[in-house]
C-alpha cells in the first residue's frame, strides 16, 4: 500500500501542499517519499528513502518550483525501500513522471518488451514500466495527447493501480487512472487535487469525487474530466460534500483502525493473489528440498503457521513443525542444522523472539525463509527467500487483515508444493485455485451479512467471565486466533484448544451459561465435533457456532450462530471462518468500553525478548 497525491493550483507553489498531503497519507506507507513538479517546461524531482520528515530534513520537500505536481509515500512491494525505487518514476527522456499505488502483475513481460525497444530501467519496481510505456506510445504516435497515451497504456496493464502522470508535453495537466486501488478527487475554487484518500486534501476542501474502477481523470486549471478507460467515453459526476472530522478521515469514516482493517480484508486478499509466482515457486522448492521444516512465529503469525502446518500436510504431504518463536532456541536450537529449513512468519519482520530464532538457525547453517508485511525489515534482509504479503500498514494492535493474508500466501505456497510433489491432481489444483480466487468475495459477503449478528452476540455475552474457543483439525488454529482477539482487546479471559481435549481437563470449568465458541466448517471433523458440542451442551454451556450457511443440524444445537458461505474447502477454511470471530472480539471490546486499537500493555511490534 502506498499513498499518491497530485494538485493543479491556479497559482502558488504546489510543493508545500504536496508535502503536507503526503504527511496525511503517511499511514499508507513510509519507507520512502518523492515529489515531482513542472516548472518552465521542466520536470523537477526530489525523492529518497526514509520517512517523510527525515527526507524533508535533508532535501527540503517544500522548495520545488511550479504550481502543479505529484507526490508519493511508499510501502515497498517490488524492490527494496531505496532511493532508486522511490517514486516518481520517469521515462528515458526524463519528461514523464508517474506515481503509482498498486501492483502491476504483468510488469516482467512489459519490461522485457520495452527493453527490447531500447528502454533503460533504473529501478526494481513494477511502476517504472508505466512512464516507459507512455513514452513508447507517444513515440509510435506523436500526435496523441497525453490523455490518450495514458489511456492506451493503462489498457495494457494487468493488476491494480491508482496512478498520477505528469509530462512536459502538456505541462498544465495531471492524468490519473484507477483500477482496484483507491483514487479520489478534491475540488475548490483555486485548485483540483487527486489522492489515494480524502484526508490528503480535507484541510483544503471538503468537496470530493470518488473515482471508480476503470476510470481515468484529467486534472487541469479548468477542473476535472472523468473518462471510461474501456471506451474513452466521458462520465459526469458531481462532487459530494464530506462531513468527516480530520480524525474520522484517517480511518475513512470507521470509528477504529481495527474495524477499518477488518473491512479491508477483501482488498488485501485480492492483493495476495497478485504475488509474483516466481517467489511462491522458489519458496515451494526450498520447502521441498528440506529434511525438516519449522514454521516459526509469535502471536497471530504463529496461528497462521499452525494453520499452514495442516495445509502443507494435507495438500503436499509435507510434515512441518509450528513453533512459538520464543521457544524455538530452547526446543530446537541444538538440533537444527544445515538440512533444516525455518519458514519464519512476522507481520513486522522485526519481532525480537522471531529474529532470535532466525539468528540461531543461521548460525547453524539452516535455510531461512520469510513471510512478512514489511519489505526492508530485518527479516527480509536475513532470509534466503522472502515473500511480502502486501497487506499495507496495519495500525490496530490486534492483527486482522495481516492474518488472513498470511493464510492466503501459505495456501498458495502449499498448493505449489503439492503440484511439485505430484500430490494433487490438476482438477483438484484448479478447484482449489478457483476457491482461493473467490475468497475475497466470500470474506466481503461475511462482513456484510454477519457484522450485525456479531454485534448482537457481543451485547448478549458482554458480562461473561470466560470463553472457550474450540475447533478440530485446521479449525483449531482458527479457534486459537479467535481466542487471542477476544482476550487481547476485550480483556476477557479465554481458553482455546482442539475440541478433542475437552474431556482431558477443561470441561471441568463448564457450568450453566458458560459460552463456548465452536468453529464448525463442514469438513472431515464434523461428526466428532458435533459430539464435542453435545458434551458441552449436556453441561449447560451456551453454544456460539460459526457454521456453514444452511447447516441446520448445528444451528439447531447452537444458542447463537454466525454464518459463512457454503463450499469452502477445508484447507482454506480459517480465512473466512476467522472473520466473524474478529468482529465478535471487536464488538465485545466496544460493549465493554475499551479502545480496540490500543489494548493495554500490548504493542504492535515487540522488539524485546
Candidates 116-124, 241-249, 345-353, 500-508: pick the segment binding ligand G6P (CB under 6 A).
Answer: 345-353
Q: How far is the CB of 515 from ligand G6P (least distance, A)?
A: 23
Please enumerate, as own/partner, the contacts of 325-333 that have beta carbons within 8 Å and a separation of 24 or more: 325/296, 325/297, 325/298, 325/351, 325/353, 325/354, 325/356, 325/357, 326/298, 326/353, 326/609, 328/294, 328/296, 328/353, 328/356, 328/357, 328/360, 329/356, 329/357, 329/360, 332/294, 333/360, 333/364
- Interface with ligand G6P includes 564 (CB under 6 A)? no
Among 301, 341, 367, 389, binds ligand G6P (CB under 6 A): 301
Nearest CA among 350, 313, 587, 276 for reference residue 474: 313
Cβ distance to ligand G6P smaller for residue 568 or 575: 575
Please enumerate, as own/partner, the contacts of 543-549 that have beta carbons within 8 Å and a separation of 24 or more: 543/516, 543/518, 544/457, 544/461, 544/515, 544/516, 544/517, 544/518, 544/584, 545/517, 545/518, 545/520, 546/517, 546/518, 546/519, 546/520, 546/577, 546/580, 546/581, 547/520, 548/520, 548/521, 548/522
Answer whether 202's CB lies under 8 Å from 26's CB: no
Q: 3 to each of 53, 223, 296, 584, how far by Cα in Å?
A: 16, 22, 32, 31
- Interface with ligand G6P includes 477 (CB under 6 A)? no
The CA angle 196-202-207, to the nearest 5 degrees, is 90
What is the CA 36 to chain-centroid distance, rounded? 27
Sign of the alpha-carbon dihedral angle for 289, 293, 298, 299: positive
- Interface with ligand G6P includes 348 (CB under 6 A)? yes
Q: How far is the CB of 346 from ligand G6P (least distance, A)?
A: 3
- Interface with ligand G6P includes 582 (CB under 6 A)? no
- Interface with ligand G6P includes 298 (CB under 6 A)? yes
- Interface with ligand G6P includes 344 (CB under 6 A)? no
159's enclosing H/E stretch is strand 159-167
Nearest CA among 198, 191, 200, 182 for reference residue 219: 191
Question: Does residue 502 come out as left (phi exceeding 0), alpha (psi in the -120 to 50 range) or beta?
Answer: alpha
Candidates 7-15, 293-301, 542-550, 551-559: pick the segment binding ligand G6P (CB under 6 A).
Answer: 293-301
Cβ distance to ligand G6P smaller for residue 304 or 536: 304
Cβ distance to ligand G6P smaller for residue 201 or 480: 480
Cα 530 from Cα 551, distance rounded (Å): 12
Q: How far is the CB of 401 from ligand G6P (least distance, A)?
A: 11
- Interface with ligand G6P includes 606 (CB under 6 A)? yes
Q: How far is the CB of 596 from ligand G6P (least distance, A)?
A: 12
What counts of helices (H) and strands (E) characterise the chain? 19, 25
- Interface with ligand G6P includes 268 (CB under 6 A)? no
Answer whether 184's CB lies under 8 Å from 162's CB: no
Q: How far is the CB of 308 from ligand G6P (least distance, A)?
A: 14
2 is catalytic: yes
Eight-class DSSP state of 339: T
Cβ distance to ligand G6P smaller for residue 509 or 602: 602
Q: How far is the CB of 559 from ligand G6P (least distance, A)?
A: 30
Answer whether 411's CB lies under 8 Å from 272's CB: no
- Interface with ligand G6P includes 605 (CB under 6 A)? yes
Nearest CA among 126, 253, 256, 269 for reference residue 199: 253
Residues 350-379 that bind ligand G6P (CB under 6 A): 351, 354
- Interface with ligand G6P includes 390 (CB under 6 A)? no
- Interface with ligand G6P includes 299 (CB under 6 A)? yes
Cβ distance to ligand G6P smaller for residue 315 or 345: 345
Q: How far is the CB of 306 from ligand G6P (least distance, A)?
A: 13
Q: How far is the CB of 75 from ligand G6P (least distance, A)?
A: 15
Instruction: Give me the residue whose beta carbon is nearest to ligand G6P.
Output: 299
Residues 83-102 that bind ligand G6P (CB under 6 A): none
Q: How far is the CB of 102 from ligand G6P (least distance, A)?
A: 24
Cβ distance to ligand G6P smaller for residue 398 or 545: 398
Cβ distance to ligand G6P smaller for residue 131 or 396: 396
Q: How far is the CB of 451 from ligand G6P (least distance, A)?
A: 22
Asked whether the bond before 328 is cis by omega within 30 degrees of 0, the reply is no
Catalytic residue among 111, 438, 604, 609: 604
- Interface with ligand G6P includes 346 (CB under 6 A)? yes
Candidates 82-90, 138-146, 342-350, 501-509: pick the segment binding ligand G6P (CB under 6 A).
Answer: 342-350
Cβ distance to ligand G6P smaller for residue 102 or 299: 299
| Sequential DSSP letters for 549-572 | TT-HHHHHH-SEEEEE-S---GGG
169 is catalytic: no
Catalytic residue among 2, 268, 305, 520: 2
What is the CA 431 to chain-centroid distance, rounded? 24
Candidates 27-35, 344-352, 436-444, 513-521: pick the segment binding ligand G6P (CB under 6 A).
Answer: 344-352
Eight-class DSSP state of 180: B
Candidates 77-85, 358-366, 392-400, 554-562: pick the segment binding ligand G6P (CB under 6 A).
Answer: 392-400
- Interface with ligand G6P includes 389 (CB under 6 A)? no
DSSP SS3 for 79:
coil
Among 399, 486, 487, 516, binds ligand G6P (CB under 6 A): 399
| Sequential DSSP letters for 106-133 | THHHHHHHHHHTT----SS-STTHHHHH
Candidates 75-83, 226-234, 310-318, 394-402: pick the segment binding ligand G6P (CB under 6 A).
Answer: 394-402
Among 513, 540, 602, 609, binds ligand G6P (CB under 6 A): 602
Among 37, 67, 101, 347, binds ligand G6P (CB under 6 A): 347
Residues linked to residue 179 through DSSP beta bridges, in sequence order: 161
Q: How far is the CB of 605 from ligand G6P (least distance, A)?
A: 5
Residues annotated as catalytic are 2, 604
Sites of contact with ligand G6P (CB under 6 A): 298-301, 346-348, 351, 354, 397-399, 602, 604-606
Amino acid at each position: 500500500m502506498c499513498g499518491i497525491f497530485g494538485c493543479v493550483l491556479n497559482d502558488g507553489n504546489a510543493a508545500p501542499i504536496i508535502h503536507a498531503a503526503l504527511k496525511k497519507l503517511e499511514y499508507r506507507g513510509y519507507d520512502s517519499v518523492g515529489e515531482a513538479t513542472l516548472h518552465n517546461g521542466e520536470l523537477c524531482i526530489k525523492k529518497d528513502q526514509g520517512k517523510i520528515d527525515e527526507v524533508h530534513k535533508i532535501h527540503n520537500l517544500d522548495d520545488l518550483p511550479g504550481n502543479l505536481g505529484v507526490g508519493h509515500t511508499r510501502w515497498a512491494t517490488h524492490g527494496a525501500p531505496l532511493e532508486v525505487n522511490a517514486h516518481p518514476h520517469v521515462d528515458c527522456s526524463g519528461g514523464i513522471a508517474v506515481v503509482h499505488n498498486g501492483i502491476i502483475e504483468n510488469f516482467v513481460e512489459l519490461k522485457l518488451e520495452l527493453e527490447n525497444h531500447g528502454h533503460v530501467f533504473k529501478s526494481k519496481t513494477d511502476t517504472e514500466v508505466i512512464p516507459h510505456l507512455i513514452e513508447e506510445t507517444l513515440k509510435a504516435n506523436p500526435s496523441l495527447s497525453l490523455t490518450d497515451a495514458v489511456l492506451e497504456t493503462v489498457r495494457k496493464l494487468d493488476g491494480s493501480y491508482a496512478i498520477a502522470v505528469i509530462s512536459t508535453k502538456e505541462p498544465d495537466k495531471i492524468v490519473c487512472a484507477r483500477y482496484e486501488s483507491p483514487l479520489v478527487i478534491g475540488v475548490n475554487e483555486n485548485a483540483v487535487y487527486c489522492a489515494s484518500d480524502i484526508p490528503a486534501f480535507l484541510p483544503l476542501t471538503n468537496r470530493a469525487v470518488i473515482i471508480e474502477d476503470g476510470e481515468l481523470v484529467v486534472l487541469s486549471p479548468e477542473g476535472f474530466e472523468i473518462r471510461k478507460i474501456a471506451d474513452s467515453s466521458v462520465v459526469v459526476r458531481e462532487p459530494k460534500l464530506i462531513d468527516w472530522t480530520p480524525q474520522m478521515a484517517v480511518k475513512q469514516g470507521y470509528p477504529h483502525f481495527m474495524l477499518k482493517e477488518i473491512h479491508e480484508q477483501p482488498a488485501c486478499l485480492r492483493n495476495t493473489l497478485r504475488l509474483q509466482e516466481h517467489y511462491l515457486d522458489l519458496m515451494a522448492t526450498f520447502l521441498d528440498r528440506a529434511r525438516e521444516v519449522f514454521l516459526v512465529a509469535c502471536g497471530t503469525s504463529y496461528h497462521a503457521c499452525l494453520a499452514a502446518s495442516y495445509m502443507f500436510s494435507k495438500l503436499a504431504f509435507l510434515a512441518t513443525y509450528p513453533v512459538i518463536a520464543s521457544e524455538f532456541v530452547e526446543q530446537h536450537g541444538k538440533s537444527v542444522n544445515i538440512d533444516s529449513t525455518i519458514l519464519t512468519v512476522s507481520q513486522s519482520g522485526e519481532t525480537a523472539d522471531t529474529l532470535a530464532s532466525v539468528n540461531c538457525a543461521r548460525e547453524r547453517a539452516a535455510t531461512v525463509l520469510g513471510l512478512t508485511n514489511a519489505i526492508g525489515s530485518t527479516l527480509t534482509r536475513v532470509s534466503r527467500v522472502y515473500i511480502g504479503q502486501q497487506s499495507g500498514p496495519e495500525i490496530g494492535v490486534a492483527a486482522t487483515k495481516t492474518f488472513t493474508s498470511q493464510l492466503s500466501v501459505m495456501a498458495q505456497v502449499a498448493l505449489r508444493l503439492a503440484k511439485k510433489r505430484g500430490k494433487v491432481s490438476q482438477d483438484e489444483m484448479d478447484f482449489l485455485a478457483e476457491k482461493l480466487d473467490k475468497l475475497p468475495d466470500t470474506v466481503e459477503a461475511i462482513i456484510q451479512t454477519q457484522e450485525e449478528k456479531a454485534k448482537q452476540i457481543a451485547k448478549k455475552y458482554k458480562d461473561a467471565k470466560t470463553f472457550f474457543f474450540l475447533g478440530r483439525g485446521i479449525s483449531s488454529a482458527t479457534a486459537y486466533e479467535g481466542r487471542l482477539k477476544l482476550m487481547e482487546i476485550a480483556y476477557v479471559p479465554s481458553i482455546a484448544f482442539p475440541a478433542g481435549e475437552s474431556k482431558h481437563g477443561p470441561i471441568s470449568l463448564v457450568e450453566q451459561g458458560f459460552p463456548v465458541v465452536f468453529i464448525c466448517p463442514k469438513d472431515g471433523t464434523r461428526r466428532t465435533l458435533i459430539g464435542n458440542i453435545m458434551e458441552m451442551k449436556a453441561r449447560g454451556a451456551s453454544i456460539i457456532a460459526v457454521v456453514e450457511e444452511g447447516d441446520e443440524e448445528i444451528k439447531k444445537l447452537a444458542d447463537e450462530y454466525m454464518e459463512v458461505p457454503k463450499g469452502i474447502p477445508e484447507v482454506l477454511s480459517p480465512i473466512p471462518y476467522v472473520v466473524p470471530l474478529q468482529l465478535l472480539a471487536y464488538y465485545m471490546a466496544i460493549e465493554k468500553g475499551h479502545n480496540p486499537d490500543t489494548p493495554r500493555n500490548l504493542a504492535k511490534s515487540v522488539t524485546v525478548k
